[in-house]
Structure 1
Amino acid sequence: MERLLESNTVLPNEFHAAYKLCFTIHDVAAQLLVSGIKQGVFITSIAFNGEHEKSALEQADDLLDWLKKSGRLNDEADVLVTMAFPAVLSDILHCIFEALEASRKGKLAIAYMLLRKPFQESLYLLESVIADKESFSKMIADDPSRLRPQNAGGIDGHIRRIQKVLKTIGETSRFNASYIAKLRYDKTENDSFDGICNKAMHLFTDHKSIKTEKYNINFIFSGMTQAMTQWAFLYSRLPYLLLYLLSLIEFIAERFSQTLPSYKVDMDRRIASSLLMADPYIDTKYRTEPLTHLTLMTRQWLSEHCMKNGFLAPEAEHLERMAVSGAFPMESDDEVHARHLLYEQLVSA
């Protein structure tokens, strides 16, 4: 999963660590999707209450219609989640991949345009699945437009939804619901993707908080000074939202298949060490309390995790190797290789 940036890029060096962190998160989610499809885990089992139900289903023209008419709303919800999750996740990952590649090439308007859909709409759908699976099923069956984020009830409504989701997935200690809502939806705040994504999408914007300046066209006249601020904002905030997204993905994926615990913590070590490597490059003016809090909690978890497994708490010199291979501090190459062979065998089984 190592990403080489030394050539064919205009991305300044200070953003390389965050770029690699974002791609590590992307690749972990992509591997979950690919292995799930390969192993055929995205399925839903339906139990029949006798042969008459089995026969009735075989004669039905549409599975979802039969489930709905039979009053099997929980089964209908499970089927809809099974259908939607891998498809939506694939779309999210395509957008993130292309956004990261665009940013690497200096095409920042394209990068921000590509991030708007996954952060505002796709992530909202995943949150809906977690917050209330049955309600999600009913809305997508009866009126999918109700799953638009505009129906959340403003920023306060988004905060309440996200807080509920964080509580459900057990992530209230790492993430801040208010900050996540602001980053995604609050165009009145400078610290928000909403305003900058809208400016990237449209040549002219007239909302008072993002109104196009006189003698200007959004993003068209950006020079290196503007690009540096756009990169700085992107790579200070993007990891936070991607880590939140990954938490949701892993929570939903658990309903289909249990992940090998040692594999999950191996990936967690890579992500944690990558985050700690990227953090020093965040300029002081782009630091916020939620970002700092996440870094501190990550550092604490990683130290405790390594010591619990019989290794030293990681120092700066251990992080790069850990980010690439998941290796514990001072762990032998043979042990790391053996663990990777086990993962490859499990994936190919």
Structure 2
Amino acid sequence: MINKYLALILATFRESFSRNNKKLLSSKNYFYLPNRFRKQHDYCEFVINQIEELVLHERFIELKVQKFELSEDIIEKMKTSDEHIFDRLTYLGLNNELNLVVNNHLILSLIMETCYFIQESLLCSLKMRMTVCFTLLRKPFLEISTIMMRLLNEPDFIDKFNNLEDFDPIKITYQEKKRLLAETNKLLNNHFDNDDLYDFIFNKDFGDSLLNLTNNAVHLYTDRNPISATEKQNLNFIFSTEEDINHMWEYIYDNIPMLLSFLASSIDLLVSKSIDVDEAVSRERLQQRQIMSKRYGIE
């Protein structure tokens, strides 16, 4: 059974997506976006809507509802306690059940958060709100993707998440991030270039990494990294010219389609490992992305 809080969150999620999708469908004038970027933008919309299906489609219901066979006495103990479900499962020693519930609830919540941030980022791109557009890309690609990859590649991640005090699921070294990208890409049949993934997401020594660009979007002034330091008589993103904005669009639509495809493939794989999903469904979702990438000229 879905608890009341989760049901409320899901209802809000559905309402939000319905409203946002209506906005996008009714905004095919693309606001300020130049013609040359529109196909890439449409592909990004397709991919994020496909990720949305993991939350809204009934075939992925196990992300929201988990079923267990429990003895009558355990069921009675569960009913008579006012504790949070996680605390009840822990107290009763149902560690496997706890890990499954936490794992699936964590994945569901991260997928929802990914959809919220990226869909709003795409809308901001259309409206030429570039500071907000880049700021919203930070959480899904730098933080959520890290947790997703750790869930995929570290069998003890949920145990650590459940039991270790002060466990930071995002705080890992750059070398560990590079390793996670390579291991995840290997699970995806090395469909992507490892160096490109690392450079465009995490590489602090690469000026065009999302790490550096989103840091500049969040902060008016940056000086820790010489590569992305704010120049004199300037504030980050504040004095952008038309030429600067065009460069930002070029960056987004040259790179985000690839990064979003990687994220979608990683999430699909994680979901298929966590719940019972027909292999044909996962294969169909990948084929749809491949068809759409060819249609929209995405390399």
TM beyond 0.5: yes
1:68-101 CA-partner distances (Å, limit 9, x unpaired)? 3444433221110122222221111011111001
Instruction: Verify: 1:256 aligned to 2:275, yes or no.
Output: yes
With over 3 angstroms needed to count, the CA separation of the structure-2 counterparts of 1:171 and 1:267, relative to structure 1, is: closer
1:238-258 CA-partner distances (Å, limit 9, x unpaired)? 111111111122123223342
2:85, 2:30 → 1: CA distance? 50
Instruction: Find the counterpart in structure 1 of residue 252 from structure 2.
Output: 234
Instruction: Find the counterpart in structure 2 of residue 128 from structure 1.
Output: 150
Instruction: Find the counterpart in structure 2 of residue 201 from structure 1.
Output: 218
1:73, 1:242 → 2: CA distance? 34
2:56, 2:44 → 1: CA distance? 18
Instruction: Find the counterpart in structure 1 of residue 74 from structure 2.
Output: 53
Instruction: Find the counterpart in structure 1 of residue 230 from structure 2.
Output: 212
1:86, 1:157 → 2: CA distance? 24
Structure 2 SS opposite 1:76: helix
Instruction: Find the counterpart in structure 2 of residue 34 from structure 1.
Output: 56
1:228, 1:144 → 2: CA distance? 42
Q: Normalising to structure 2: TM-score of the pair?
A: 0.81
**Which stretch has the larger CA shift, 243-252 or 95-104?**
243-252
Is the contact between residue 17 and residue 274 of structure 1 (CA under 8 Å) also seen in structure 2?
Answer: no
1:91-127 CA-partner distances (Å, limit 9, x unpaired)? 1101111100100111111100000011111111222
Is the contact between residue 109 and residue 219 of structure 1 (CA under 8 Å) also seen in structure 2?
Answer: yes
Instruction: Verify: 1:24 aligned to 2:46, yes or no.
Output: yes
2:66, 2:128 → 1: CA distance? 43
Runs of 5+ unmatched residues, structure 1: 281-294, 296-349
Q: Normalising to structure 1: TM-score of the pair?
A: 0.70
Is the contact between residue 15 and residue 235 of structure 1 (CA under 8 Å) also seen in structure 2?
Answer: yes
Instruction: Verify: 1:164 aligned to 2:179, yes or no.
Output: no
1:258-292 CA-partner distances (Å, limit 9, x unpaired)? 2572x655544442233224447xxxxxxxxxxxx
Aligned amino acid, residue 107 of structure 1 = R
State the 1:198 CA deviation. Answer: 0.8
2:84, 2:268 → 1: CA distance? 30
Instruction: Find the counterpart in structure 2 of residue 189 from structure 1.
Output: 206
1:36, 1:129 → 2: CA distance? 23
Instruction: Verify: 1:152 aligned to 2:169, yes or no.
Output: no
1:264, 1:138 → 2: CA distance? 29
Is the contact between residue 33 and residue 90 of structure 1 (CA under 8 Å) also seen in structure 2?
Answer: yes
Residue correspondence of structure 1 range 167-178 to structure 2 within 5 A: 167=186, 170-178=187-195
Q: Percent identity?
A: 20
1:80, 1:22 → 2: CA distance? 29
RMSD (Å), alpha carbons? 2.7
2:181, 2:89 → 1: CA distance? 30
**Which stretch has the larger CA shift, 201-210 or 187-196?**
187-196
**Which stretch has the larger CA shift, 236-245 or 34-43?**
34-43
With over 3 angstroms needed to count, the CA separation of the structure-2 counterparts of 1:131 and 1:269, relative to structure 1, is: closer
1:37, 1:269 → 2: CA distance? 18
Is the contact between residue 60 and residue 277 of structure 2 (CA under 8 Å) also seen in structure 1?
Answer: no
State the 1:165 CA deviation. Answer: 2.9
Is the contact between residue 163 and residue 172 of structure 1 (CA under 8 Å) also seen in structure 2?
Answer: no
Instruction: Verify: 1:87 aligned to 2:95, yes or no.
Output: no
Runs of 5+ unmatched residues, structure 2: 1-20
Aligned amino acid, residue 205 of structure 1 = T
2:93, 2:114 → 1: CA distance? 32
Is the contact between residue 135 and residue 217 of structure 2 (CA under 8 Å) also seen in structure 1?
Answer: yes
1:20-59 CA-partner distances (Å, limit 9, x unpaired)? 01000011111221114995652222333x4443444344
Is the contact between residue 203 and residue 217 of structure 1 (CA under 8 Å) also seen in structure 2?
Answer: yes
Residue correspondence of structure 1 range 179-328 to structure 2 within 5 A: 179-207=196-224, 208-254=226-272, 255-259=274-278, 261=280, 267-279=285-297, 295=299
